[in-house]
C-alpha cells in the first residue's frame, strides 16, 4: 500500500485502467500517509477520510464498468485552504473566519476536479489569507520542511508542497500571488507551476487583485500538465478568465528544447545575491539545457527590482482582506499581517495607480524581452530552506518575505507563466529550484522545457525519508 503513495497521477490512472490496483486502495494509502506525516510537518488543516473513501468507491465502480468520469478519476488530490470546497469551511489560516455557515460552493478549480472524478482528501495549511512566503498561522501553527523539520516549507502553499513531497497525494492545488506556489515547491523539492493569469479561473476574486493565480503542485511536469488540462477550462464566475486553451498541455510536453532560445539570468543583472551552492546547481542544469540543443545566452531582463510597487499592491490587498474586521478580530490576526494591513490602509488611489504604472512598464519590458528569447531561466530562490516559524532568515537583514524572493514576485506583476523545477540539493541536502518563465499565454513552453529536464534526468530530487 505504501508504494501507491509513490506513484504519480499518470501512473495511478494507468494502474486503474489496467486493474492493477483500485482508487480505494490508493486513497486509503494516501490517507494513511497523510496521518503519518502530519505530526512531523503539519501539512493539513483537515483530512476528509470518510468522504474521500466514499468518492473513491464510486470511482472504483466506474473503472470496473470502463466508464471513468474524467482525466483524474480516482486520483487523490489535496487543496490549499484558500480555495472554496463545497460542504466544508475554508478558514484561510485565520481565526477571524467563522467556520459556521453554508459553504455551498466550490472554487472553479475544485469544481473541475469533481467533474473529472478526483478524490478530494483534505485541505492544506496556509499562512493567514496567504499573505507571506512561509506557512505558519495563528490558526494552524507552523508547517515544516519535509527534508529538515527544523526548517520552513515555504509558503504560502507550504502545506501543499510538504504533502506532495511526502506522498500524501500526488496532486495539490496551490495559489500564487507573489511566488506562493513556486517558493514552497522549490524549498520542498517538487514541481510547481504558476500559469498565465486567467488560465485557471478564480472565484471568489482575490483581494490581491490580478496578482493571484491558481496552479498545480506535483511531482513532475507531466502531472502538472494533466492537472492543468483539468482546471484550465473557463468559468462564468471569473470575468477575467481566459478562453479555452488551444490544445492539451499534456500533448504540448513533446518536442524537447532543440533550437529554443533561452536567456539565463543568474542574478537579475547583479541585483540578487545568490548563495554559491544554489548558483552552482542551477548553472549546472542550464548547461545541460545547452547540451540538449537549446541556444543559451547569459542575459538579464531589463528591469530594476519592483518591490516597492509590489508592496503597494500587496499591502493594499491585505488591507482590503481585513477591512471589515472589528478591533477584537484584528487582535486575532498574525502580527505581521496586522502590520502590513496598517501600511496598506495608508496608501491612496494615486499610490496604487503609480504602482500599476510600474507594473505596466514591467510587462512591456518583459514582452520585448521575449521577442528575443523563448524562455527566461533563473534560480527560483537565492537560498534553500531556513528556520521554521520565521518570515525571513535570521541575520538576513530582510524585513519582509519579499527580501528573499526577488525572482518570483516580478512575474506575478507581469502575469507570465512561471514554474519551478527541482534540479539538485545544496550541501545540507536541501532542494534547489530552477525557475522557467515564458511570455504570457506560453505555458506550453514552460512545461515543455521542464519536461525536457525531467526526461534528461536533470530534474527531480530524492524523496524525503519519513
pLDDT at residue 234 is higher than 90:
no
Please say whether the beta carbons of 127 and 83 come within 8 A. Answer: no
Question: What number is the average pLDDT over the span 255-270?
Answer: 98
pLDDT band at 390 (very low <50, low <70, confident <90, very high): very high
pLDDT value of position 2:
62
- How far apart CA 317 and CA 345 sit, in angstroms, is 9
- How far apart CA 244 and CA 249 sit, in angstroms, is 12
Give Cα 6 distance to the centre of its chain: 20
For the stretch 152-183, pLDDT in tens is: 999 999 999 999 999 999 999 999 999 999 99
The four Cα atoms 267, 132, 431, 304 give a dihedral, to 10 degrees, of -10
C-alpha cell at 153: 516549507
- Out of 80, 123, 132, 194, the active site residue is 80
Of 272, 361, 263, the C-alpha closest to 309 is: 361
Residue with cell 542544469: 285
pTM above 0.85? yes
pLDDT value of position 101:
84
- How far apart CA 423 and CA 189 sit, in angstroms, is 8
Beta strand 431-438 with 144-145 is unpaired
Q: Under the phi-then-psi rule, with left for phi > 0, alpha for psi from -120 to 50, and beta for the rest, what region is 199?
A: alpha
- How far apart CA 413 and CA 428 sit, in angstroms, is 33
Instruction: Determine whether 240 is an active site residue.
Output: no
The DSSP string of 283-328 is HHHHHHHHHTT-EEEE---S----HHHHHHHHHHHHHHHTTT--HH
pLDDT at residue 462 is higher than 90:
yes
Strands (E), 52-208: 76-80, 119-124, 136-137, 141-142, 144-145, 148-152, 171-176, 191-194
For the stretch 90-117, pLDDT in tens is: 999 999 999 998 899 999 999 999 999 9
Instruction: Determine whether 180 is an active site residue.
Output: yes
pLDDT value of position 105:
97
Instruction: Determine whether 80 is an active site residue.
Output: yes
pLDDT at residue 1 is higher than 60:
no
- Out of 156, 160, 172, 265, the active site residue is 156
- Out of 180, 206, 265, 316, the active site residue is 180
Domains identified in the chain and CATH numbers: 2-455 (3.90.1300.10)
Amino acid at each position: 500500500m505504501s508504494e501507491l503513495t509513490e506513484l504519480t497521477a499518470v501512473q495511478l490512472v494507468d494502474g486503474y485502467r489496467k486493474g492493477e490496483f483500485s482508487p480505494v486502495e490508493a486513497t486509503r494509502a494516501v490517507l494513511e500517509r497523510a496521518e503519518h506525516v502530519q505530526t512531523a510537518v503539519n501539512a493539513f488543516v483537515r483530512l476528509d477520510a470518510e468522504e474521500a473513501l466514499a468518492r473513491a468507491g464510486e470511482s472504483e465502480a466506474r473503472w470496473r464498468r470502463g466508464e471513468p468520469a474524467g482525466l483524474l478519476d480516482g486520483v487523490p488530490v489535496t487543496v490549499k485552504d484558500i480555495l472554496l470546497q463545497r460542504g466544508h469551511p475554508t478558514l484561510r489560516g485565520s481565526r477571524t473566519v467563522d467556520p459556521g455557515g453554508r459553504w455551498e460552493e466550490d472554487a472553479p478549480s475544485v469544481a473541475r476536479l469533481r467533474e473529472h472524478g478526483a478524490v478530494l482528501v483534505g485541505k492544506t495549511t496556509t499562512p493567514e489569507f496567504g499573505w507571506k512566503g512561509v506557512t505558519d498561522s495563528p490558526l494552524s501553527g507552523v508547517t515544516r520542511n519535509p527534508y529538515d523539520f527544523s526548517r520552513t516549507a515555504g509558503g504560502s502553499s507550504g502545506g501543499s508542497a510538504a504533502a506532495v513531497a511526502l506522498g500524501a497525494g500526488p496532486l495539490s492545488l496551490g495559489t500564487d500571488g507573489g511566488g506562493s506556489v513556486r517558493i514552497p515547491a522549490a524549498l520542498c523539492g517538487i514541481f510547481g507551476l504558476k500559469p498565465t493569469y486567467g488560465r485557471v479561473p478564480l472565484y471568489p476574486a482575490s483581494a490581491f487583485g490580478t496578482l493571484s493565480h491558481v496552479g498545480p503542485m506535483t511531482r513532475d511536469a507531466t502531472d502538472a500538465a494533466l492537472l492543468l488540462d483539468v482546471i484550465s477550462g473557463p468559468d462564468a464566475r471569473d470575468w477575467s478568465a481566459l478562453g479555452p486553451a488551444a490544445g492539451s498541455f499534456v500533448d504540448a510536453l513533446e518536442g524537447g528544447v532543440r533550437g529554443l532560445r533561452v536567456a539565463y539570468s543568474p542574478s537579475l543583472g547583479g541585483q540578487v545575491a545568490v548563495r554559491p551552492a544554489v548558483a552552482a546547481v542551477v548553472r549546472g542544469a542550464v548547461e545541460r539545457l545547452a547540451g540538449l540543443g537549446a541556444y543559451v545566452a547569459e542575459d538579464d531582463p531589463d528591469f530594476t527590482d519592483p518591490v516597492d510597487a509590489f508592496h503597494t499592491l500587496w499591502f493594499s490587498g491585505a488591507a482590503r482582506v481585513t477591512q471589515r474586521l472589528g478591533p477584537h478580530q484584528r487582535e486575532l490576526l498574525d502580527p505581521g499581517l496586522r502590520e502590513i494591513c496598517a501600511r496598506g490602509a495608508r496608501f491612496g488611489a494615486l499610490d496604487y495607480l503609480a504602482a500599476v504604472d510600474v507594473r505596466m512598464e514591467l510587462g512591456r519590458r518583459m514582452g520585448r524581452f521575449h521577442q528575443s528569447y523563448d524562455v527566461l531561466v533563473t534560480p527560483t530562490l537565492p537560498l534553500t530552506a531556513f528556520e521554521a516559524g520565521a518570515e525571513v532568515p535570521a541575520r538576513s537583514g530582510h524585513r519582509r518575505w519579499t527580501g528573499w524572493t526577488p525572482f518570483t514576485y516580478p512575474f506575478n506583476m507581469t502575469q507570465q507563466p512561471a514554474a519551478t523545477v527541482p534540479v539538485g540539493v545544496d550541501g545540507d541536502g536541501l532542494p534547489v529550484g530552477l525557475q522557467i518563465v515564458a511570455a504570457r499565454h506560453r505555458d506550453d513552453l514552460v512545461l515543455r522545457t521542464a519536461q525536457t529536464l525531467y526526461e534528461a534526468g536533470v530534474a527531480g530530487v530524492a524523496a524525503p525519508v519519513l
